[in-house]
């Protein structure tokens, strides 16, 4: 077990825990966002500060929990240096993706339960759904990029071996 696989996950979990506290409540983030919204208002067409604050906070749920899912995947994914067959590695990768998704949603649920006990925070099921959406999107994008990269690499190596195919 390598530390390099688990350290990004630990950092991400500490960040999620920190974001769950009083300092990152909507009242506090509104103080940070208000000057920006007022400054950008002519460019973005106005809108209330509360609406922009809520939108930004919900977007951050998707992004942060997407990053958390990728960190879980990185920690859980198996890399055996090519000793196993590609079908076995594909099954292990699928298992790691499923576990990364489930663990990310579980952390999101625990985070929202924790927020119920913080005076200026409210735990919401809709936030857990956003967390799951962020996790799913990140893991699907990762899987799609890897598949695209593997297939293009395979084609390139075939062309090197058999130039008449290209």
Asked if residue 156 has pLDDT above 60, the reply is no
For residue range 50-84, list pLDDT tens digits in order: 777 788 889 999 999 999 999 999 998 866 565 66
Asked if residue 18 has pLDDT above 60, the reply is yes
Sequence-distant contacts of 28-31: CB under 8 A, at least 24 apart: 28/120, 29/53, 29/56, 29/57
How far from 144 is each of 8, 139, 149, 153, 154, CA to CA, in Å? 22, 9, 8, 14, 15
- What pLDDT score does 98 carry? 94
The token pair that represents 4 in the structure block: 């390099």
Asked if residue 113 has pLDDT above 80, the reply is yes
Distance CA 153, CA 119 (A): 53
User: Which candidate, 19, 15, 21, places its Cα nearest to that of 57?
Assistant: 19
Distance CA 138, CA 95 (A): 16
Phi, psi of 139 (to 5 degrees): -70, -35
User: For residues 83-105, b (16+ Cβ closer than 10 Å) or e, as one string?
Assistant: eeeeeebeebbeebbeebbebbb
User: Which candidate, 132, 131, 134, 114, places its Cα nearest to that of 123?
Assistant: 114
Asked if residue 163 has pLDDT above 50, the reply is no
Angle at 163 between CA 157 and CA 166, to 5 degrees: 80
């Amino acid at each position: 077990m390598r530390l390099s696989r688990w350290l990004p996950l630990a950092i991400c979990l500490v960040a999620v825990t920190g974001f769950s506290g009083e300092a990152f409540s909507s009242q506090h983030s509104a103080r940070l966002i208000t000057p920006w919204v007022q400054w950008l208002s002519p460019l973005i067409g106005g809108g209330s500060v509360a609406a922009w604050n809520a939108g930004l906070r919900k977007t951050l749920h998707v992004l942060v929990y997407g990053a958390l899912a990728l960190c879980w995947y990185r920690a859980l994914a198996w890399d055996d240096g090519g000793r196993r067959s590609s079908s076995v590695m594909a099954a292990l990768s699928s298992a790691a993706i499923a576990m990364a998704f489930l663990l990310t949603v579980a952390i999101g649920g625990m985070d929202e339960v924790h927020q119920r006990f913080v005076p200026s925070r409210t735990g919401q099921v809709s936030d857990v759904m956003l967390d799951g959406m962020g996790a799913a999107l990140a893991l699907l994008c990762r899987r799609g990029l890897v598949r695209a990269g593997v297939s293009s690499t395979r084609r390139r190596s075939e062309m090197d071996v058999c130039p008449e195919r290209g």
